[in-house]
Amino acid sequence: MTGTSRRIGKRGRDLLQVRELRALALLVIVVGGAALIQPRYLNPNSLRSILIWIPLVAIIGMGEMMVIIIRGIDVSVGSIVGLAGLTVGLLFRDVPGFPVFLAVIISILIGLALGSLNGAIISGAHVPGVIVTLGGLSAYRGVTFLITRGSQIDGNYIPKSVIRWSQTGPLGIREVPWIVVIVLVITLITWVIFRYTRLGRDMYALGSNPDAARLRGVAVQRVTFFAYAFTGALAGLAGILYSSRFGFLNPGQTGVGMELTVIAAVVIGGVSPFGGSGSVLGVLLGCLLLGAVNVALAVLGIAGSWQLAVYGAVILLAVGSDAIFQVGLHRADRSE
Amino acid sequence: MTANPLVRLTALSMSFESVNVIRDASLSLYPGEVCALIGENGAGKSTLLKILGGIYEPVRGSIEVNGKLTSILNPQSASALGIALIHQEPLAFPDLTVAENIFVGAEPKKGKFGWVDWKTMYQRTREVLGALDMKLEPTSRMHGLSVADRQMVDVAAALTQNARLLMMDEPTSSLTPGEVERLFAIIRRLRGQGASIVFVSHRLEEIFEIADRIVVMRDGEVVGERLPSQTSADEIIRIMVGRSLDAMYEKPKANPRDTHAIEVQDLRSTGHFRNISFQLKAGEILGLAGLVGSGRSSLAKALFGILTIDGGTVKVGGKVVAIRSSQDAIRNGIAYIPEDRQRQGLLMPASVTQNISLSALSRLSRHGWTNRALERTKAFGFVEQLKIALSSVDQQVAELSGGNQQKVVLSKWLLNDPKIIILDEPTHGIDVGAKAEVHHLMAKLASEGIAMLMISSELPEVIAMSDRVLVMREGSIVGRFDRAEVSQERIMAAATGQLK
């Protein structure tokens, strides 16, 4: 190979490595396409709809990307949202005047406890994450039904201050509500963990090559435990945010199926389904893309029943292009 | 050597599942010296390095570093002692950058939170790459790099951790001649700076070029130490192979039939082997010798259809056949007994019967339903014929000894009535008694007209069992010997490129 062609080849690979670009390109296509057909799509209201759609997905996505980067998966997040959300909902209903800050802490702690349980079993007993969290998916939802006896927490029980997180923002800016600010804070924290802590660096190493990571002294069990616990805590936070965003909590609805949306956003955002690479920026873009698709469907007057099918198509498109480029690279690399 | 040794190993022993892989090995390593470690496949070189690297724990013996008795419990304690192991295939993190690869687990920190200090990390990466004369960007992703570059990144990682003992396990096996020269220049520079280097290679000419001292291992023992100036390639080969042939069962002289069971012409598989031509007669055992990585196993896999053939012809029974899958191979009467029988040859949790019938299920079935009675009858037949020691044919294969497991693998293939059997290290990891039984069995099958291609790293086995021997080196056949002219020395000379 000549010098020049080698350089171009390397640059091509580096470009591919920036898989966030793919999410960005798809985002431009979706927004542009929808705006061409229906110019109304570009008004502030639909921007707001997109922003208001993504917070729960983005917050949990920050944890889910950690789990996927270390070659795991957490499908219990939707049920954690349900259990944490309904628990604080019961407190709001049954303890009039229950302090909101305490409710936030309880919601996060419940998520942290459930995530830690996942993480402890997975790292301690070496059971694959998909099995353990599948158990969690079912068990945590079951507990939610038990403690609520199946009844919904109506909007009038949810404190006004909680509802307002989704309605007004800092300095009263309506387009960027507080819930979006929370997303940005969580994103920043996650970025710092990945970029500036040993723990975050170890996650990439572990996902990229588990055997080599072990030989280099990466504390595999601790890293694994942290990823699941962190994800659980974020899902717990999303529990109380759900009540703000939707104005009600229902054991059969709150968080149901969210794991799929979150995993979709993470993978579309360029986090390698084989582990080892991915960025918070990509995950944000993935969430925006799913949000844009969702709102486009509504604005274009396409029935909501199409939603799942379109998500699926977007995931297959994203992962399919992955399979064409990235898998080839990885296979060439790892089978040597 | 007058200096004090950096590392001294005394009477080290180590075993895997009661097979001794290192026996009473003693070795001293000095600063500013390149010590070459040489020996046949399985002589224990890599195991010895892994003990020093903290990957394996010795059963007996002592390790002294700088005169202090110590134990190396894990890779971290090895690196804390200044010992670094450069693996044959660099264990890289393909998704991470060069700088990240160098510093995984040892990132520079700053501030009171101990946050990763990227500036220092890139700075030190540039420094160490510069010291190694490497023109690599610290931010390049690892998966775009060549094997040579990745190896250098491993060396760089060792240097940033102030390694004083660098152990390289066959670092040159996948390098081009130019890359080897560059590696040697770096090794010489490190030696000049007082590092102690252990260099494992099968290439004698390289060893004579770079080593200050040559240590020969055989069967887990250190059997000789020579200075390059006072020895010769011939002598080193003699020490390497110096195993007696007495204990080995010798196959009676074959009377190969006149028909060719398989004829191979100019066979090629890119990146694995090329120009491979040979004939194998019915009833003949052809030994295939060579060092690990010489292309022997690849050739076996290609003939069995699990490695792509890129050129050349294969004739079975005089007819040209296309072997594109293992089904093609089986249809043409070829059987393949892989090296790693536990992983590739057997379903360990399944019963003896299930394993035996596995590759012949279609013959034992009607309309998709397996005839269980017939299956068991066949299994019983083989248990009797091959004298497989077991309590019941329903016993799990995992519970059998290595020798008996190998017989189950053989049974599985014999059920298909093969004309040609390819065996890759048929007696690897089997105790002496069982070895002899497997050898008897092979001789019996040959006398019944089955042609056999046997890959073996055990030279006495090759010599005792083969009617003819082919030696491979770097993907080509470099030696052909008849039974009358073959010797361990000649095989090893060909395999290491010393054949005149």
pLDDT tens-digit map of B78-107: 989 999 998 877 778 988 999 999 999 889
Contact (CB, 8 A) for B54 and B74: yes
Q: Model confidence at A3, in pLDDT bands (50, 70, 90)?
A: very low
Rg (CA), chain A: 20
Residue A213, chain B, CB below 8 Å: the answer is: yes
> How far is residue B378 from each of residues A324, B184, B443, measured CA to CA in Å?
47, 58, 22
> H or E element: which one contains A332?
helix A328-334
Q: Which of A196, A212, A329 sits opposite B93 (nearest CB)?
A: A212
Cα separation, A177 vs A168, in Å, equals: 5
> Six-digit token pair at B94?
């393909």
pLDDT of residue A4: 35
Question: Measured between alpha carbons, how far is B211 from B447 in angstroms, rounded to an integer?
Answer: 48
Rounded to an integer, what distance in angstroms lies between the CA atom of residue B23 and that of residue B2? Answer: 27
Do residues B96 and A197 lie in contact, with contact meaning Cβ atoms separated by under 8 Å? no
A89-129 pLDDT tens trace: 999 999 999 999 999 999 999 999 999 999 999 999 989 99
> How is domain B7-92+145-241 classified at the architecture level of CATH?
3-Layer(aba) Sandwich (3.40)
What is this model's ipTM? 0.82
- Mutation site for A-interface testing, chosen from B104, B122, B308 by largest number of A Cβ within 10 Å: B104
CB contact under 8 A, A216 and B75: yes
Nearest Cα residue in chain B from A278: B95
For B424-460, what is each residue's pLDDT tens digit?
A: 988 877 766 677 788 888 888 888 889 999 998 888 8
- Could you tell me if residue B121 is left (phi over 0), alpha (psi between -120 and 50 degrees) or otherwise beta? alpha
Q: What is the mean pLDDT of residues B57-66?
A: 90
pLDDT at A336 over 50: no
- Give the side-chain half-sphere CA count within 13 A for B36: 23
In whole angstroms, give the CA distance from residue A81 to residue A73: 16
> pLDDT value at position B43?
82
Look at residues A113, A75, A81, A63 and name the one whose alpha carbon lies nearest to residue A224.
Answer: A63
Nearest-CA distance from B182 to chain A in Å? Answer: 18
Considering the four listed CATH numbers 3.40.50.300, 3.90.76.10, 3.10.310.30, 3.40.50.10320, the one that applies to the domain covering B260-495 is 3.40.50.300
**Is A213–B104 a contact, with Cβ atoms under 8 angstroms apart?**
yes
Shortest Cα distance from A322 to chain B (angstroms)? 14
pLDDT at B271 over 90: no
Whole-number pLDDT of residue B359: 72
Q: Rounded to an integer, what is the distance from CA B221 to the centroid of its chain?
A: 18
In this complex, do A213 and B93 lie within 8 Å of one another by their Cβ atoms? yes
| Structural domains in chain A plus CATH codes | 52-334 (1.10.3470)
Q: Taking CB atoms and an 8 Å cutoff, what residues of chain B touch A211?
A: 91
Q: What is the mean pLDDT of residues A135-155?
A: 95
CA distance B323 to B314: 8
Half-sphere exposure (CA, 13 Å, Cβ side) for B277?
A: 4
> In this predicted structure, what is the pLDDT of residue A64?
97
Q: Model confidence over A200-238: pLDDT tens digits?
A: 999 999 999 998 898 888 999 999 999 999 999 999 999
C-alpha distance from B90 to closest chain A C-alpha (Å) = 9
* A331: pLDDT strictly greater than 70: no
**Between the CA of residue A25 and those of A20, A282, A318, B248, what are the distances in Å?**
9, 12, 11, 69
* pLDDT for A135 beyond 90: yes
User: Which is more confidently placed, A112 or A297?
Assistant: A112
Q: How many CB atoms lie within 10 A of CB B265?
A: 15
Percent of chain B scoring above 90 in pLDDT: 39
Nearest residue, CB atoms, A215 vs list B75, B100, B107: B75
Of A9, A205, A217, the CB nearest to B93: A205
CB of B409 closer than 8 Å to CB of B366 = no
User: Per the CB < 8 Å rule, is A207 touching B74?
Assistant: no
Mean pLDDT of chain B: 87
Highest mean pLDDT among A183-192, B106-115, B429-438, B473-482: A183-192
Rounded CA separation B385/B444 (Å): 11
When scoring A215, A326, A330 by the number of chain B Cβ atoms within 10 A, the one with the most, hence best to mutate, is A215
Spatial separation of the C-alpha atoms in residues B150 and B238, rounded to whole Å: 35
Q: Work out the burial of residue A11: count CB atoms within 10 Å of its CB; fewer than 13 is exposed, 13-18 middle, 19 or more buried.
A: exposed
Query: Which chain B residues are closer than 8 Å to A277 by Cβ?
Result: 95
Find the angle CA(B221)-CA(B226)-CA(B231) to the nearest 5 degrees: 130
* Domain boundaries, given as residue ranges, for chain B: 7-92+145-241, 260-495
Q: Which of A14, A215, A276 has the CB atom closest to B95's CB atom?
A: A276
Judge whether A97 is closer than 8 Å to chain B, CB to CB: no
Residue B309 pLDDT more than 80?
yes
* Residue A331 near chain B (CB below 8 Å): no
**Partners of residue B94 in chain A, C-beta under 8 Å:** 208-209, 276, 330, 333-334
Instruction: Report the residue from A13, A195, A205 with minimal CB separation from B104.
Output: A205
Of B490, B446, B452, B443, the C-alpha closest to B471 is: B490
Interface of B with A (CB under 8 A): 55, 74-76, 79, 89, 91-96, 100, 104-105, 107, 109, 113-116, 118, 140-141, 143-144, 147
Please list every residue in chain B whose beta carbon sits closer than 8 Å to the beta carbon of residue A213: 93, 104-105
Q: Are the Cβ atoms of B141 and A17 closer than 8 angstroms?
A: yes
Note the maximum CA span of chain B. Answer: 82
Query: B60-65 and B7-16: which strand pairing?
Result: antiparallel
* Assessment of whether the complete model's pTM goes beyond 0.90: no
A82 has pLDDT over 90: yes
Answer yes or no: do B107 and A198 touch at CB < 8 A.
yes
pLDDT value at position A192? 96
- In this complex, the residue of A196, A212, A333 whose CB is nearest that of residue B91 is A212
- Which residue is closest to B157 within chain A, CA to CA? A216
B112 interaction partners in chain A (CB closer than 8 Å): none
> Same CATH fold, B260-495 and B7-92+145-241?
yes
Which of B228-232, B434-438, B495-499 ranks highest by mean pLDDT? B228-232
Neighbours of A44 (CB within 10 A): 9
Judging contacts by C-beta atoms under 8 Å, the chain A residues touching residue B113 are 196
Cβ pair B95, A207 in contact under 8 A: yes
